[in-house]
Homo-oligomer: A and B are copies of this chain.
Amino acid sequence: MELDRKSGVPYYIQLKEQIRRRITQGIWPAGTKLPPERELAKSIAVSRNTVSQAYKELEGEGVLSSARGKGTFVEDTALIMQQESRKEKVLRIVDLAMEEAVGLGFSIDDFVSFVHVRGMEKKDQLSRMKVAYLVSNPEQLADVNWNLGPGVNLFPLLLSELQESPRAQECISGMDMAITGVSRLAEVKILLGKQHIPILGISLQPRLDTIVRIAKLSIGREFALVCESNQYAEKIKLALRQAGLYPAFRTLIQPNETNLREVLPQCGAVILAPRLRFRVEKVLPENMECIEFHFEPDAGSLNLLRGALLELKGEKF
């Protein structure tokens, strides 16, 4: 593996590309152990931190996984293949645009600068968009840490509140878009019929890491399932069944110290609705696994949403 020292491309970016290439070319299949950071750093004569940054970003993209003391491993080749093919598509268009720009007499620097400025403008515009997220359970109000792109403002609202309070209705009219789970879509469309804002249905799925952790623990153990509402508990159970998991449950709605102290010691692990951790923490027995159950939109829904936002922006400005 070698770096181009004169190209001006940051070393860690070059490294990422080379690692990507080795994976896509099948030289490093899934599960391969990558060279340790120190070793690779020494072999290409850069700081370990440079290697570390490359590894870490690829880890963040789901391509690699690192564990202290063990090493860094190729995680998911299918994912990176897919990413690469998408990236290739984008790069083809970028090349096209670049040649067009050069043909029109701009330099490559000009072009990059155009894109840079244009990108900042778009981000700026996006960050001014306000999106209402209509949910039916109070637990969902807190579970909105999705990556919509930098600074799209997501305002969670309870459907029941919306039905009762005219204040909430007013609040909606200031938004640029409303989203909700597909199962509630029809209902929401009727409710917001008079307001002329676009409504988008998104489908939620449990976060993969959540499912994996539960799967690892679900052999011969009983779980405590702690929620604020029965509906949410049912939602979680349904999601687990759909993932092929049928663990034994003790369901605890509206937890307080008394019933927590009673139930928890009888269980092998705890599954929590989001933001309930602090209520359970003091009562939690030593060494007991405690899993917050998060939902997130699937990739398709996210793309749909992102695209819709960009289009909206186009109309707005």
Contact = CB atoms under 8 A, between A and B. Distances in A.
Interface of A: 4, 6-9, 13, 86-87, 89-91, 93-109, 111-112, 114-124, 126, 147, 149-150, 299, 302-303, 306-307, 310
B307 A120 contact: no
A111 B119 contact: yes
Which 9 residue pairs across A and B have the least CB separation, nearest first? A112-B119, A93-B97, A7-B124, A86-B104, A115-B115, A90-B101, A9-B120, A108-B119, A107-B149
A8 B116 CA distance: 11
Contact of A120 (B8, B89, B119): B8
B109 A150 contact: yes
Contact of A105 (B13, B124, B303): B303
Majority secondary structure, A binding face:
helix
A101 B122 CA distance: 13
A299 B299 CA distance: 46
Residue in A90, A118, A121, A123 whose Cβ sees the most chain B Cβ within 10 Å: A90
Contacts of A89: 100, 104
